[in-house]
Structures are given as structure tokens and as C-alpha cells.
Structure 1
Amino acid sequence: MLSNKNYKDIRQKRTSSKFRSHILSRKKFEIEPDEIFLDSKNIPRFELDQLEGRIEKPINKKVFSFLFIFFVIIELMFISRVWSIEISKGEAFTILSENNRLRSVRLFSNRGVIYDRFGNKLSWNDVDSRRYSSEGLSNMLGYIGYPSKRDTEDIEMLYSKEMIGKAGIEKVYNNILSGDAGIKLIETDAHNNIKSESVQKLPVDGGNIYLSVDADFQSELYRYIESLSLEKDFTGGAGIFMDLSSGEVLSIANFPEYDSQVLSSGEPREKINSYLTDQRNPFVDRAVSGIYTPGSIMKLVLAIATLNEKIIDPNKEILSTGSISIPNPFFPDKISVFPDWKAHGLVDMRRALAVSSNVYFYEVGGGFEEIKGLGIDKIGEYSKMFGLGEKTGIDLDNEGVGLIPSPEEKKANSPEGDNIWRIGDTYNASIGQGDFQVTVAQMVKMVSAIATDGVLLTPHLIKKCEGRCGDIDMDKFTGIEKLKIPPEYFKIVKEGMRMAVTDGSAKGLNFSNIKIAAKTGTAEIGSKYVNSWVIGFA
């Protein structure tokens, strides 16, 4: 039996135990305030789907913390920007605001005049245009035009109205001819009315350049090349005459050529469009930029190399029956035939040069029977010695480099074809065929070295400069390099060249009043075209 007192104690303990159990259960399963009424009847008829009747929760303190940090960051960014504008870059913005009322204007200088060696004007200024003189001079002189992104990265120059040299002498010596532009400051008010003007820097006119060319002689050479090209149905032609004592170019003509006046003025457009569509490429300076297969004029280098390497006595005769035959590398039971242009009979070195015997130079170049031959490496070595395969240094733009054939070159350019160097390749190289590529300027440098017993001259057009001449380095044109080859070897080759004029392939140059030594060359280009050469000296 339990007394009332004991019963109350037991009930109180049970109630206390249930309360503690409820508290623990709530901590484990948190009950939201509005969940208290989940079992209650919706007496006020709230739209529960529209969240009516739900008890609002207090905003979490973390939200206020996040907003506070966000606005602090925005404030710091604003302060940083103000600091950049007012303090860090304040001076730059001040200058910018000053420029809003101070305008800088370029004062163009007068472009320098280009003269020939006798003081005849070739290019000069006439009111607002550039003027050019005589035919046959345009590819050499070039033309002027507005600068493009290919010419300069100077933004101010790109948007100026100052003309610059775009080709030829106008481009090569643009820094001298263009002078220095001046600067004038113009102060304007808010309505763009001029308040004052002040010249900050006076313009300096460009320097005047005297070229080594004879304009009349060059025009005559141009007309001759034009006439011959039209008569023989040649695509075009070029010619260079150079002073053997100095390297000064006396004439450098190209056909066809553009008109410097037309390109500089930009009109008529029809004429310019005709240049662009002309398949003869009048924009190509054939004397400097064009590269061509040399043909038999390379026999001069082969002759010097043969003598210097003692491959054969110059008086020893070789029989030319019209061709030379060797075993075919692909079909051993057959032969490969390398033709001469005719049967010359027995020829020594002088006679071989005079009549341009292919068989003679096949044998001394590539070897045949008891003659060892130079071999392709020696041919390449002496070609480089005479300035082939590299720029001559002539003061015109876009000078070509050319190509000297070699086993390495053949392998690189024929990765999937027949890239093995064979004796036939050496034979072709020995007469300037195959992959040989040269420029007219290189051939002038080469033949001048033969004429001067090994002096390598740098062909150039500038003779002198007046006025603002800058830092022209005339020494690079007057420096002399001498090949270490005995003079008697050059004498033999020059005798062969003279014989070519008196009784050989260059008899058309045999004049009574001038003594000329020359060498001709013809290189076949496919089945349709040929490169026809004549080089020499007087």
C-alpha cells in the first residue's frame, strides 16, 4: 500500500522525468513555432497556399554581418578609385584636361630633292605634290604615300597627313629625305575659337641626295631593254652598269616599270589597277628583287675555281662531241645523256669560255674519266666566295638572296621525291642550271670581281648628301674585300671572255671603239621560257 504522500512523490518524479525527456527530444528534433498549430483547425480560413497565417521568423544575424562586409568592400573600392584619379594619376588627367584646350599641330617639312650624278632633278616638290622626271627611273626612285601599319607602329604618324617613302630610293633614304616635322600649339576656348598660337619646334627640311646614276644613260638603257623585250617577246628585262673603280651604279633599269608620278598622286585609278593586274609584274625590281637561273654565266666562277684548285691545266683540251654520257642511276643498262648546245670539238679553258662549251664544264665541275672534277661542295664554296647566295648590300629595298644548290638543299626541298644528290645534279650546277638562283645585282658584283682581279665591290646608288644627312655610313660602300686568288687565273678567264666577243658567243658586242670582255648565258625555264644573260666589262 502507498500513502498519499508517497504517491505524490512518485507522480512528481515521473512528471519531472517526462519533462526532461521532452526537452532532450526537442533539442534533437527542433520544432518550428508554426508547427505547434499543425493539428489545429484553420479557424480564420487563411489561404495556406499563399503562406497566410504563417508566423514570421526573425532575420538571422549572419545576414546583417554579410551586408555590413559587402558595403565596406564597396566603400573601399570607391576610395581606391578616388585615390587613383586624384593622387596616383592626377597629373596625367591634368595634362589631358589641358589638351582639351591646347591642340598640337604638326608642321610638315619640305621633302628633300633627289638628283642624278650631274645635278639633274629626278624627284622634287611642286606645290603640294611630288614630281618625278624621265622614263626608266621609277623602280629605282620608288614613290611616296601615306603610312600604313606595315610601314610604322607610330600611331601619331599613321593618322598624320605626312607622306613617306614606300619603295625604292624614296623608302631606303626616307629618314633623310623626310626631314623633321615641327610642332605648333594652338590654344582654343570652349567654342573652339583660336585664342593663341605658338610654334614650339620649327620644321627641318629633308636632306638632298645625289645619286651615282646618269639619268639620260639610264633612260636610254630602259628604252633598249623595252625594245628588245618587245622584239623577242620577253616578259621583261633589267640591266645594271657599275663603275669598277668605286662600285657606283651608273644605270639600273627595269622593264616593265610603274610610273612613280601615278602611284605618288594616287591617280588615275585605272592606271594603278592596270599595274596590279599586269602579269608581267611591274612592281618587281628585276635588277634587285628578281631571282633567276643564271645558266652559262656561272662558268666564269667554275673556271676560277678549277684553276685555283688545280683541277686541270688551262691549256689542256677536252673533246666536245655534242654531249656527255654516264650510266643511268635508275636503269643501269641505260645511259644518261647531258647535251652540249653544239659539238665544239677540242677546246681548252679559254676556248670553252668563248664558245660556252657545256661538256668542258661538266667534266671540270663534276668529273669524268681521268678528270676528278670540283664536286658540288667546291662549286658552292666558290659561289659564296663571289657573293652568290647572299645580299650584295645595294641600297635598294627588297633585295633578293637567291639559292646555291647543294645536297642539303635538295633533300630539304624534295622530302618525298628523289632527294638523293647525284652526279647529274653536279653537272647541271656546273653550267648554272638546276636549282641555281641569282639576282642581276649579284652577277654585277661577281663579274666586277673578275674584272678587278678579285676585288669585291658593293654596288650602290648614293653618291653624296647635302643638308640633313643623318648618319649615312658611306664606309660600308667604299670598303674593299680582296679574294686570295692569284691574278694570273683571273687573266686566263678574262682572255676567254674577250675571245667570246671577238670570236665566240658574244660577237654582238664587238665594237671598234671600245674593248669589251663578256660572257653570255641562256637558262631554260620549263618548256616555254628562257633566261637570257650577258655580263661583261670594258
Structure 2
Amino acid sequence: MFDFLTSEKGSLRVERKNLELEPQEVIVDSFARKNLEEGFLQERKLEVPISKTALRVFFGAFLLMLLVFFSKTLSLQAFSGTDYRELARKNVARETFLTPDRGIILDQNLVSLVVNLPSFDFVCDKRDMPFSNLEKESILKHASQLLNQDFSALKKEFDENPNPLMLLKENLSHESLVLLNVREKDFPGCQIFENKKREYVKGDMFAHLLGYTAKINRSELGGLEGYSPVDQIGKDGVEKAYEKVLRGKPGKFVVQKDAQGRTIAESLEQTGESGQSVVLWLDSKLQETLVKALQNVFSQTGAKKAAAVALDPRTGGVLALVSLPSFDNNMFSEGLSFQDWEKLSNNPSKPLFNRAIAGLGYPTGSVIKPFVGMAALEENVIQDTTSLFAPYEICVDNQYTKEKECFRDWKFHGQSDIKRAIAESVNTFFYIIGGGHEQFRGLGATRILEYLRLFGWGSKTDIDLPGEGKGVLPEINKNWRLGDTYHLSIGQGPFAVTPLQVATATAAIANRGKLLQPQVVKSIQGGESFNSTLVRENFLDPENIEVIRQGMRQTVTRGSATGWLDDLPVKAAAKTGTAQTGKVTPDGKDYLYSWITAFAPFDNPEIVLVVVVEDVKEGNVAALPVAREAFQYYFSK
């Protein structure tokens, strides 16, 4: 039953059926008495209802919190669940990729150019190191002292690298290996990792062709699967282009650990497969011959930079590829210090730059003339019997100054046909067929460029090496003048091509009309063989090709290569050239690019050779003796 509150003069009394008094009633009784005395009891109620607005706000906040909670739960379980489960698994499972033996690189005669040697690295796993940052720092400090490493750089890499595995030192010396084994307990979470490193046979002889391997860097590691911080990866040359083939398939070893970091199980989850070896088209003895011949030229002329490319015109196979100065690629596989890297990369001679295939290339000088002559024959500007008077100089009106501008030959030649013009490098003949003169209408710059592009100039050859450049051809605009066409016709002016581009174009003349893609790798052992890739054929009249070939043969028999290539064991054909560098000797002579492009035997060519030597003082012969030595070796095997 309910109790009732009544009042009598100055007193407050509760009437109830039972005599039991509950604690809260004491408070209510006091409150009621006070209000009764003040006359408010009849007007006030002890309970005040909550407003509808407050209820709505409270209910809305509750729903919002519920929605946020639900969304986060959904995100963790449905979207991030796999990631978190994987993280949790990795907290107790340590995956180690077992680096497979890397494939070997061999030349065409199966001569090994690189071998794998055992090496040892010192690696720390952050997950197994002490939790305390101070303890980790102490380990790093002791390691830096023992390994003669810079502590600041080591700690910076340790702090910034998100990978749990940290490579502290690669290619440990025998002394470091012994010390680390003795003091193993001083480095909890760290261990010595057995690895392999590359050793290149005669490293600087083949550096630009083979490239090199080095430790994988952080950005590469983030974008590749199956690699660990201790792995070597191809960085340049064949090593980079055929990384997947040479590397093989790594194994995977998993160690299960409990919450205290104790090993509870070990298993081999994936068996590794050794990398496949690759066989190159390279004739390593030819490469060595070219390098030594160029070094002899350097000592005789004072030049210091050069490039050479040899191709098989039947297949496009690269028989040799030389760039000087070179570098020892073993420096990278052994672990290049920052100081050594700075010294190498800042060397003004740029030994890392592959002059044979990279960059813009060089102005060709007169080695362009067979291709300009081919264009003139194809476009019926001349015939093989056309004879033009080639004066010592040709003078034309300059469209801007309105004055005479003269273009000279290197000597007077007189009447010349296309064969003699190629053999003796008659500049004024090519001025006339290239740009025209008086009543003779020449090709014009646009058609010259059209044929150069057909021969592959101005675009990459797609050789199977990284870092290829495409050269640069001139842009014909409103400021182009006749003199510019004259310069283009003899390989001067604002354009450049790589030695490789000259070699592939010459191969198309040597093999009578097939432009082939150059190929470094001949086959993968136990796998694929690479057939020649045809870029273009039937784009030239065979009769016109033969005229140009005869002109290049005449270069050897009674032209600019006579005395150098005319007493070889086989018949050869060639075109020599020099191009201006823009630099002058103290006594006023020009520094030149010295070129030769040649092929042999003449009837059934087996080799195309291109050589360019930089900064040759005017009057010196540089490229011809190199070609001579290379052909003498090649045809006396």
C-alpha cells in the first residue's frame, strides 16, 4: 500500500502501514519539510521530466556512437582482417627466403664470364631484438664499432626502414666473421647470414655489357616479391635485363616462435630453384681485342673515350660491345662504399656511361654518306652512272644576310659518281645530291630524314639491354636553310646517333636489305633460343643496295681505308668519317670524332663493326687501326 504525507502545525508526519523507514526517506522527509514550510509543496513535484529535445540529442549521440563502433568493427573484420591476421601470424612466424644460386653468363664459346662465390652478411631482425630502444641502440653501437660502420648512418637506416630485417654489413671479412661468432650473445636478434656474391672475370673488360649486381635497395624491395634485404639484384646490363631468368626461384624457410620468442617449429615451405644460365652472342676474345686496340690508340693519340659495336648481320647478334673508359663491376657486388660511389659517379670521364648505346650519341660525320646515297638512288635523284662535277667549294646566298656562304670540301675531286663519292668522301657531291645546286634538284632535308628513320635512326633499336638512347634527328622548321641541309648531308649539324644505331643500319646494307633488332642473349640454357627479330625488309631496291655496297668496297680498295683494310684475310667494305666536336687544340687544330663502319667478308658478311673515338686531334688516325686489329683477329681464328 502507499504511504501518505500529512502536516500539522510546524511538524511533518508520515503515515504508513508498516513502521519500517528506508534510508532515502530520510532525505526526502527533510526536503519535503523545508518546502512545506516555505509553501511550495503544493506547487512543486519531486520529479522533473526530461525534455523531448534532450532525449532526441541523447538518442542521436547514442546512434552515432553505435554506427562508428559498427563501422570500425566491419572495417577490422571484413576489410583489414586479412592484413591483421597476417601481421599476427608474422609475430610468431619468421619467413626467410633462401637465395638460390644465380645463373652464370657465358659467351658464345661457353666461356664463363662470371662466377658465384660464398659470402656472409650480418643481419638483425627487429622483432627478435630487445623491446627497449636503449637496448637496441646499444646493440647497434657495438655492431658499428666492431664492423667499422658509421653509427649515425646505421641508426638512421634502422629507424627509417620499415622492413623488420635490417642488413648491418654485407660481405663480412674473415676477421669480422670470427669476432661476431665469438660475441654472438652480445647481439640478440642478429645473426650471420650465408649468401652468394658475383665475381666477374676481367670485370672492366665487359662491365657495360654484363652490368652488375648489388644489394637490393629499399625502393626495389618494396615493389618486388620474394626478395629480402640481403639479396643481390641485377642493376645494369645483362644482369638487370635477365634478372628473372638468372635469379631463379627462392626457397622459403619458416620458423614458428611463441610469445617469448622461443622457437617451437621449423619447416621448409618452398623449395628453391637455381637460376638459369644465359649464353651470349658475345665473342669475348673479340671484345678483348677491341679494348686493347683502343687502349693502344689512346696512348698514341691522347684520346681517352671511345665506343665500339660488332654485330652479326645475319642474326643481329651482338658480337662485342665496348665503352671506354670502363669500371670494375666487382666493386658493386663486393659492396661499394659511399665515398667510392661518389668518386665513380662524379668522375668527369663518366666511366658508368655506356657510350655504345646510351644518351644522344654522336654526330656521324661522313659515315652518314652511304645512307644519303641510298636515299638519292631510291628517289631517282641520281643513278649509279650519274657523274657530277664536285668543285672544291659550293657557294650559295644566305637567306638572312643576303651574302654568299661557301661550303668547302676537304680537297678538290672533280667529276664523281656515287661510288667514288663514298670511297673518297667527296663532300661537295653530297651537298649537291642532298640539298641541290644551281639546276640540280637534291633530296632536301625532309626526304633525307625519312630514309634515316627507315634505317632506324631517331628511335631505339630495342636491344635487350637497359638504358638505350634513341639519338636525336634535327627538326625542320621555318629557320631551316639550305646550308643546314648541306651539313646534314655529310653528317654534321644538330643531330646525333649512337654507335649501335650506325651498326644496325650498316648491317641492313651488308645483308642486302634486312633491318634487324640487335640481340645480346643467344639462348637460355635448358630453355629458349632467341631467333633474329626482323624490324623491316624489302624497303630498298636490291640493285641500289649493291651500288652502295660497291662504293663501300671501293673505300677499302682505293679510298680512305686503303692501306688499313685492304690486306685482310677476307675482302672488307667500309666508310670512314670525322665529325667536329666544337673543341680546338691550343695550336688551333680541331678535336674530332673519328668514325669507321665496316663489314666483312664482302660477299657474305659475318660481322659489322663500328668504332668511334672521341676528341681525336686533327691529323691523327684513330678508328681505322682498331678495325684492322679486330678483323685480323676475327678472320684468323
TM-score where L is the length of structure 2: 0.69
Name 1:23's counterpart in structure 2. Answer: none
1:196-345 aligned at under 5 Å gives the runs 196-267=265-336, 271-290=340-359, 291-332=361-402, 334-345=403-414
Return the letter of the residue paired with 1:309.
E
Distance 1:226 1:439 in 2: 21
- Relative distance call for 1:357 and 1:149 in structure 2 (3 A) is farther
Equivalent in 330, 342, 367 of residue 436 of structure 2:
367
2:211 matched to 1:142? yes
Q: How far is 1:429 from its partner?
A: 1.0
Name 2:38's counterpart in structure 1. Answer: none
Return the letter of the residue paired with 2:287.
Q
Name 1:444's counterpart in structure 2. Answer: 503
Return the letter of the residue paired with 1:182.
G
2:542 matched to 1:503? no
2:591 matched to 1:525? no
Question: C-alpha deviations, 1:421-443, integer Å up to 9, x for none?
Answer: 21111111111111221111111
2:567 matched to 1:493? no
Distance 1:364 1:264 in 2: 53
Identity in percent: 32
Q: How far is 1:318 from its partner?
A: 2.5
Q: Give the length in aligned residue pairs.
A: 466
Q: How far is 1:513 from its partner?
A: 2.3
Name 1:484's counterpart in structure 2. Answer: 539
Distance 2:88 2:94 in 1: 11
Distance 2:91 2:480 in 1: 71
Distance 1:83 1:456 in 2: 61
SS at match of 1:118: coil
Given that residues 149 and 158 in structure 1 are in contact (C-alpha distance below 8 angstroms), is that contact kept between their aligned partners in structure 2?
no
- Relative distance call for 1:68 and 1:307 in structure 2 (3 A) is closer
Q: How far is 1:366 from its partner?
A: 0.6
Name 2:146's counterpart in structure 1. Answer: none
**What 5-or-longer segments of structure 2 have no aligned partner?**
1-47, 120-196, 585-590, 601-637
**What 5-or-longer segments of structure 1 have no aligned partner?**
1-57, 412-418
> Between Structure 1 and Structure 2, which shows a larger proportion of strand residues?
2
Name 1:74's counterpart in structure 2. Answer: 65
Return the letter of the residue paired with 2:596.
V
Equivalent in 95, 99, 103 of residue 112 of structure 1:
103
Q: How far is 1:145 from its partner?
A: 1.5
Report the structure number with the largest CA radius of gyration.
1
- Relative distance call for 1:376 and 1:153 in structure 2 (3 A) is farther
- Relative distance call for 1:376 and 1:66 in structure 2 (3 A) is same
- Relative distance call for 1:114 and 1:279 in structure 2 (3 A) is same
Return the letter of the residue paired with 2:93.
L
- Relative distance call for 1:155 and 1:399 in structure 2 (3 A) is closer
Name 2:451's counterpart in structure 1. Answer: 382
- Relative distance call for 1:343 and 1:152 in structure 2 (3 A) is farther
SS at match of 1:74: helix
Given that residues 353 and 497 in structure 1 are in contact (C-alpha distance below 8 angstroms), is that contact kept between their aligned partners in structure 2?
yes
Q: How far is 1:68 from its partner?
A: 4.9
TM-score where L is the length of structure 1: 0.81
Distance 1:119 1:146 in 2: 27
Question: C-alpha deviations, 1:405-452, integer Å up to 9, x for none?
Answer: 241xxx4xxxxxxx5121111111111111221111111111111112
- Relative distance call for 1:100 and 1:459 in structure 2 (3 A) is same
Return the letter of the residue paired with 1:385.
L
Distance 1:503 1:187 in 2: 79
- Relative distance call for 1:156 and 1:358 in structure 2 (3 A) is same
Given that residues 514 and 534 in structure 2 are in contact (C-alpha distance below 8 angstroms), is that contact kept between their aligned partners in structure 1?
no
Name 2:201's counterpart in structure 1. Answer: 133
SS at match of 1:437: coil
Question: C-alpha deviations, 1:222-249, integer Å up to 9, x for none?
Answer: 1211221343232411111112222212
Distance 1:90 1:385 in 2: 57
Name 1:435's counterpart in structure 2. Answer: 494
Cα RMSD for the two superposed structures: 2.4
Question: C-alpha deviations, 1:271-297, integer Å up to 9, x for none?
Answer: 543321211111111111141111111
Return the letter of the residue paired with 2:561.
A
- Relative distance call for 1:64 and 1:287 in structure 2 (3 A) is same
Distance 2:348 2:80 in 1: 57
SS at match of 1:479: strand
